[in-house]
Structure 1
Amino acid sequence: MLDDRYALAHRLYPYERAADQDAEVAAHHPVVVIGGGPIGMAMALDLALRGVRTLVLDDHEGVGEGSRAICFAKRTLEICDRLGCADAMVDKGVVWNLGKVFHGEDLVFEFNLLPEGGHRHPAFINLQQPYFEKFLVDRIRQAQAEGAPIEIRGKNRVESLDVRDDGAGIEIMTPEGPYSITADWVLACDGAGSPTRRGLGLGFEGKVFKDSFLIADVRMKVDFPVERRFWFEPPFREAGDSALLHKQPDDIWRIDFQIGWDVDRDAELKEDRIRARIDQMLPGVEYEIVWTSIYTFQCRRMESFRHGRVLFVGDSAHQVSPFGARGANGGVQDSDNLAWKLAMVLNDEAPEALIDTYDAERCYATDENIRNSTRSTDFITPKSEISRVFRNAVLHLSRRHDFARPFVNSGRLSVPCIYDGSPLNGADSLPGGPAQTRPGAPCPDAPLEDGFLLHRLGTGFVLLAIGQEPPDTSGLRSVSIATPNAETRARYLVAADRALYLIRPDQHVAARWETATPVEIEAALNRATGKEMA
């Protein structure tokens, strides 16, 4: 259900006849991205900014409708900052760090997701997915004007793939009929229902939870604080077994109601039924319903995200429950992990085996997201009476006792994965080094005199030298911090006085030392680019 005034769909890439449609021989493209949602656009933009000629095929002509994903995490904003579009997202979005958990009418506890300073971006922003997509497309248009090799074709629906050892043949349908192209690599970013996945006869493994949740996005002018509010067994019992409220831009508020499994979905989506729930939750408040939907919790993934020259990214590869905001955020991290690897392979800077580490690292990250989402789901929707008794006992204890609060799970909110055990991880030779910056970990931001650390690190391999001059490493860019401030010391040194970090293009740590020779650094670089796997 959608109010037209809330539709953010714009014909940002209307159908235009392409030269490929008139070619006598199927045109060839290095990379074809299937799907123009947020993950597909982030994927294509990242590749194009690295000089990879990329074609996006989308069966629509612009961004989607309805809010769908709304919570975008700090890590996603850091990635979008490297892509050049984070500022627009933060400016439009609703910034929040504080969350509150209630049981009935009682506040159980509150939490701050970013209790420390010295970060450029907030813990989270709330921003409707169509806005997120639009800002990516706007950045793509800017990049195109600057010469980036990227093309978007709207109303180009992929009908079939002929997967080969060296790429794929692609059959495409347009308003003017079919045509064919070929590609070295195909990136399936076509969502949870992925026609690409189904067309190749591939499936998901995992669990569908027997419960239903109603989303209602409403427009209202209220003086509520900007925070995430979650109720277990809310006092407004018409809502269901749990409820969630938080703010989006344009005076839109997201409300989630847990409504049970054995429900008549058509009946629950009728306006009078939705209003009965909202009126009990927000008595006396004037509001306008602008978008509604019903969903179930699903925690599933493909067995492998790579199938030859076809790679699955985002929801086409995995699904998690929305509580925790791990879907879109995880998908953006997929694209961030894959883009630099594919660019290096296409530029003959790394062996094709490097692509296998996309599957290894992001399957590992997905399993972590599924594990956390499953635990959230089990806590939010107890499957037995004894589970409910345990859950409510934890909530009761948490009102007064700190030890119980880590057991409360209203959705463990998205944090980036640390790729422990990755085949790309090198030496960990920094005595007393912080756990948060061990090999495989994403680099935490830190303030510098002239800005922030992550901005200085850039988008390629870089050697970060703290408290010392970097060794002379041919062709490897370095960033030096001669005198680290308190934030940098806490996040990168702790007990050490100096350190060297080899940082990957996705700003994950590849290796770290107290000191290192050029030979040791080169060995770590070879490992991080997959050359030891060739």
Structure 2
Amino acid sequence: MVDVRYDIAFKLYPYEKVAAQEATAQRHPVVIVGGGPIGMACALDLGRKGTPVLVLDDHEGVGQGSRAICFAKRTLEIADRLGAGDAMVDKGVQWNVGKVFHGPDRVFEFNLQPEPGHKRPAFINLQQPYFEKFLVDAVRDAQAQGAPIEIRGQNAVTAMERHGDFVTLEIDTPDGPYTLEADWLVACDGARSPIRDMMGLSFDGRVFEDNFLIADVKMTADFPTERWFWFEPPFKDSGQSALLHKQPDDIWRIDFQLGWDIDREKELDPANVRARVDAMLGDGVDYELEWTSIYTFQCRRMKEFRHGNVIFAGDSAHQVSPFGARGANSGIQDTDNLAWKLDLVIKGLAPDSLLDSYSAERAHGADENILNSSRATDFLTPKSETSKIFRNAVLYLARQHAFARPLVNSGRLSVPCVYDDMPLNGVDAPGLPEGTRPGASCMDAPLDEGFLLDRLPGKFMIMAINTEAPKITEVDGVPVGTLSLRTESHDPTGALVKRYLGETEKALYLIRPDQHIAARWTRSTAQGVRAALLRAIGKGALQ
């Protein structure tokens, strides 16, 4: 990767020497390696729950270059719960519409959020440095309110050793090395994870024989705020495909598909990058190159995301191609899944085996992302003449016929994973809407005041719609909240009925701390709800 220039690097946690560097190894309940968006979201979630956490990062803040830019609705909903959503949406460029072109012709357009009644848009475009900054800002706010979160910049992990129930880490700093211990280690240290390498763990999958050039350019342009994708674009030297969409601060992301056998140094020469951009934008467009890099599609994952008291999340556990915006978004879903489970285990409220469900559920999510990403890559880069004929026939049909449009794959955009058939799921009453079945994340809905997801904090919740909720405030020490709603007074648009009742008149939902649905009933008893919650924390069988 070559950085041309980028102005939004933030030094958020400058190096400071700590007393631990002069003392014997101190033990920490949780150490997170990696201060990127995944590590910081995990620390923020754990710290807000009261679990002490230490973040070690080998830098002093976010890096240069925009890298990830598309953040999905589910990620924004998680950020809302963590206290960072408003800042992200206020800064980000909101979009719902995408357009697909073949050569000079528009094939069709799509709307990722065609129905109203959601607090957040389908996507925002926001440079990763801003996304990380807003998470760190939320960490600072949480620290001010007493959350036990510590961040140490320029603390690079150089070695680790496992000792059964704890891990020893060797840390290098500008003032020399020191040692610390961790009961739990969460590796959020990226696709080239040093922790994974230190443990000798495999990272298996598929590397696609293609390269893509990213060019972030600063310009004032009247293009609409949409995702534009071209197959076989008409502009000169643009490769087999191209992508254009807008970021904040008049920055535009352009991707060019270059092929496999390329001279990377030549392609990254600013003069050659400019030649491609000029051909795309046309004569006379004034712009500046902000950042360029070349990447190769890779779809890989670890076999297991949990290895005893070492847990992997984000790109250290799985990697997908950027088309579809599944990398950072799936990593945030990893931490959303992990934090509440690790918190309960550390507090002695759930068995250690609950963390095995993290690996099972998020490996399921990674497989879904890898499948979609691989299919997108195969559609973008047909591997035979027959495949190319099929691809182009689909594009031709899609111009006039709606049935062909789902076959067009310019990157299936990130949606939350549904944990179907996973061990923590409880009972499911027949007749309720499929979209809110056990394993699915809750759909938002406007209420008489605010939105539904804002009423579902990071703990177990009983949501009773048009029925009485069992009077339960805790189960085996696990706190439980209650949200009682009546559609005649709380559902001004009918979205709550559509998304949670369907044709039924009442329902009871048990919702996990990560806002995924654990179980649901049209009628239930306190005993049934307790049994479902015990199952959701790894203590009980389906009843």
TM-score range, shorter chain: over 0.9
Local SS of the residue matching 1:470: coil
Q: Paired residue for 1:229? A: 228
In 2, Cα distance between equivalents of 1:164 and 1:117: 53
Q: Paired residue for 1:480? A: 484
The alpha carbon displacement at 1:107 in A equals 0.6
Q: Paired residue for 2:519? A: 511
Are residue 267 (structure 1) and residue 271 (structure 2) matched?
Answer: no
The alpha carbon displacement at 1:7 in A equals 3.2
Q: Paired residue for 1:352? A: 352
Asked if 2 retains the 8 angstrom alpha-carbon contact of 1:164 and 1:309, the reply is no
AA paired with 1:119? Answer: H
In 2, Cα distance between equivalents of 1:47 and 1:232: 43
Q: What does 1:307-386 correspond to in 2, within 5 Å? A: 307-386=307-386
AA paired with 1:483? Answer: T
Q: What does 1:80-229 correspond to in 2, within 5 Å? A: 80-229=79-228
Asked if 1 retains the 8 angstrom alpha-carbon contact of 2:10 and 2:129, the reply is no
User: Which stretch shows the higher mean deviation, 472-481 or 105-114?
Assistant: 472-481
In 1, Cα distance between equivalents of 2:141 and 2:203: 37
Where does the alignment leave 5 or more consecutive residues of structure 1 unmatched? none
Alpha-carbon deviations, 1:261-283, whole Å to 9, x = none?
Answer: 00000000001111111111111
Asked if 1 retains the 8 angstrom alpha-carbon contact of 2:320 and 2:369, the reply is yes
Q: CA RMSD in A?
A: 0.9
In 1, Cα distance between equivalents of 2:473 and 2:376: 48
Are residue 446 (structure 1) and residue 445 (structure 2) matched?
Answer: yes
Runs of 4+ residues over 6 Å off in structure 1: none
Equivalent of 2:503 in 471, 474, 495? 495
Q: How many residues are treated as equivalent by the alignment?
A: 530
Q: Paired residue for 2:477? A: none
Local SS of the residue matching 1:322: coil
Local SS of the residue matching 1:446: coil
Alpha-carbon deviations, 1:142-201, whole Å to 9, x = none?
Answer: 111111100000010001111122120111011111111111000000001101111111
Alpha-carbon deviations, 1:480-528, whole Å to 9, x = none?
Answer: 1112631001100111100000000000000000010000000000000
Asked if 2 retains the 8 angstrom alpha-carbon contact of 1:57 and 1:154, the reply is yes
The alpha carbon displacement at 1:532 in A equals 2.7
Where does the alignment leave 5 or more consecutive residues of structure 2 unmatched? 475-479
Alpha-carbon deviations, 1:414-461, whole Å to 9, x = none?
Answer: 0000000111000002x3111110000000000001100001011100
In 1, Cα distance between equivalents of 2:452 and 2:141: 25
In 1, Cα distance between equivalents of 2:438 and 2:162: 35
Asked if 1 retains the 8 angstrom alpha-carbon contact of 2:4 and 2:292, the reply is no
Q: Paired residue for 1:409? A: 409
Asked if 2 retains the 8 angstrom alpha-carbon contact of 1:345 and 1:352, the reply is yes
Asked if 2 retains the 8 angstrom alpha-carbon contact of 1:268 and 1:274, the reply is yes
In 2, Cα distance between equivalents of 1:244 and 1:507: 33
Local SS of the residue matching 2:30: strand
Normalized against structure 1, the TM-score is what? 0.98
Local SS of the residue matching 2:217: strand
The alpha carbon displacement at 1:474 in A equals 3.9
Asked if 2 retains the 8 angstrom alpha-carbon contact of 1:98 and 1:227, the reply is yes
In 1, Cα distance between equivalents of 2:539 and 2:354: 8
Are residue 242 (structure 1) and residue 241 (structure 2) matched?
Answer: yes
The alpha carbon displacement at 1:3 in A equals 4.1
In 1, Cα distance between equivalents of 2:163 and 2:126: 40
The alpha carbon displacement at 1:473 in A equals 2.1
In 2, Cα distance between equivalents of 1:239 and 1:482: 56
